[in-house]
Chains A and B, each alone.
Chain A
Amino acid sequence: MSAIAPNFKLSEFIKSLLDNIFWIILIVVLIGLPAIMMILFVIEMPVIDGELLTPFLALTWLADPSRILPVVKAFMATDIFRVMAFPGFGFAALLAAGTIFVERKMMAKLQLRVGPFYCGKVEGILQLMGDGLKLISKEIIIPAKADKPIFWAAPVLFVATAAAFVAFIPVAPGWVVADVELGLLGVFAVIGFFPIITILSAWSANSKFPFIGGIRALFQMVSFEIPLILSLLGVVMLTGSLNLSEIAASQSSFPWIVFLPVGAIVFFITMLAELERIPFDLPEAESEIVAGWLTELSGMMYGLVQLGTYLKLYAFAGLFVVLFLGGWNGPMVVPPFPAELLEKGIEMGPITAGPFPGLPLFTQEMLNGALWFVLKTVTVIFFIILPRGVFPRIRVDMLLNLGWTKLIGLAFVNIFIALGLLYAGVLGPGGLQ
């Protein structure tokens, strides 16, 4: 069984737990409370509405929804909330963590890897936590001749660039971190930084396998960036806008994948290549060049690169949803907010809670949009991680040939389909929509 603590005894564990709790309570009572009293004795508390603001009164106000709800709403309207929590980093990191978990479980089912089934007794639900603890408690080894500042900075820069990519993705109407006029060009600009960070990390490690992996990442970027850019031109031509929110809003009647399936397929293939996933995982081909450009990264540095990879995966899946699958558009399935909660409050037997006038923190449209966006994104993520269990890897020359001849050709076919739809009058002014 477990080799970590062979002399484990439950009674001693509970005893040590109770010991710790006892000492914490003792220290808080003897040192913490007197310290707070002394501070309160020195500070002069303000008088609000004729009442002296005592700590008891302040805590009472914190529990009063009519006072705290406007504060929460005002905070939710700030850029800080958007960057940290909802359409930004927290939301994306949550989805990324979910993706890692689901991918491990799915690979376990597909390829009979039995490990992820056992961690945490019930179907391995503690696998993700186990992975995280393992990565953060491992020693970070820097190769002797490495360029240390760049080598340390590369994983952090990778995560930060992936987060900057996430900033462009609109999740619900009006809920986007950076609502910029040239959003799609901004996305291209951010995508262009990933191979640079890969090359920097590979070069600074001063080792052979990362260097080969970095060169391969460069070739992969070179052959797939142009089809990626060209495959999205059809959508821009039909929409007449580069703003991602406007592109998502323009698909209220039908998603663009109905008219531009060729562009969607090309974008999906280039997306797999940009994400370095099988069958295009040449930069980290583990059966050829150890782990490619990740070979010298150890411990939490590797963990950060993994987090960045999955943030990037979420962002690419979100971009696919926004451009081709209609973004947040979908039938209204979220029920409206109960009106009696605003007027009368909750009355359940002895429990009453007063009316909450400011309560619907999120509107119905926003909840519905976010729900449809997440559903579509999760579906796209599923189709991105599925090839990993099925396909072999392709060679470098096949990769270049595929990117430069077939995908660019198909991307131009897509552009001419869009032009034909416009000039035949099917779409655009006077056509459908």
Chain B
Amino acid sequence: MVGELAGNYSTVVLMFGFAMAAMAPALVISRMISPRKKSNPVKFLPMECGQVPTGEGRTHFMMQYYPYILMFVVFDVMAIFLYAWGSVLLEVPKIATLPMLGFLAIMFGAMAFALYQSGRRRIW
């Protein structure tokens, strides 16, 4: 049963594999027919608009927008949970929508609080 359900998705994997098998030769052919010269000492350095690069490539990055990533972890799961409700909405009784609206109200409150906190730049 579970295997059958998972087996339906095998064509997606087949498509994934076919695209890989069809497109990887393009890189190989390109590598074979294109010129390869080691003429310049800075040729293989990272691109930095003509300057000789300084420092690390993987630099520090700003945490200014980190709260949004934290919010994403919570509310993405909420959005998928709503699909479990939405796809059976025509079959469940109408009274079953009320607890869902309560859930949405709690989530709206949480989201408003999180957005307010993410707007306070000095605590991040």
Contacts and interface: CB of A to CB of B under 8 A. Distances in A.
Interface residues of A, number: 85
B123 interface: no
Q: Is the interface of B mostly helix, strand, loop or mixed?
A: helix
Given A136-B30, A155-B27, A404-B71, A89 B48 contact: no
Interface stretch (A32-40, A78-86, A345-353): A78-86
Interface string A54-90: 0000000000000000000000000100111000110
Contacts of A218: 69
The 7 residue pairs across chains A and B that have the minimum distance between CB atoms: A207-B46, A163-B19, A300-B30, A206-B57, A167-B15, A240-B90, A160-B19
A211 interface: yes
B36 interface: yes
Nearest to B112: A405
Given A166-B15, A167-B15, A236 B87 contact: yes
A237 interface: yes
Interface of A: 79, 82-84, 88-89, 135-145, 152, 155-157, 159-164, 166-168, 177-181, 184-186, 188, 190, 203, 205-209, 211-212, 215, 218-219, 222-223, 225-226, 229-230, 233, 236-237, 240-242, 290, 295-296, 299-301, 303-304, 307, 396-397, 400, 404-405, 408, 412, 415, 419, 422-423, 428-429
A233 B83 CA distance: 7
B103 to A, nearest CB: 13
B90 A84 contact: no
A135 to B, nearest CB: 8
Nearest to A422: B89
B96 to A, nearest CB: 12
Nearest to B26: A300
A417 B89 CA distance: 14
Given A167-B11, A404-B71, A83 B18 contact: yes
Contacts of A180: 8-9, 12
B91 A79 contact: no
Interface string B10-28: 0111111111101110110
B23 A160 contact: yes
Contact of B86 (A84, A190, A206, A237): A237
Nearest to B22: A89
Interface residues of B, number: 61
B43 A178 contact: no
A405 B15 contact: no
Interface of B: 5, 8-9, 11-20, 22-24, 26-27, 29-31, 33-37, 43-49, 53, 57-59, 61, 65, 68-69, 71-72, 75-76, 79-80, 82-83, 86-91, 94, 97, 104, 108, 111, 115
Q: Which of B12, B18, B34, B53 has the most CB of A within 10 A?
A: B12
A142 B88 CA distance: 51
B22 A168 contact: no
Contact of B89 (A168, A203, A240): A240
Contact of A223 (B19, B24, B58, B68): B68
Contact of B46 (A83, A296, A412, A419): A296
B18 A163 contact: yes
Contact of B68 (A156, A208, A219, A429): A219
Contacts of A185: 80, 83
B46 A205 contact: yes
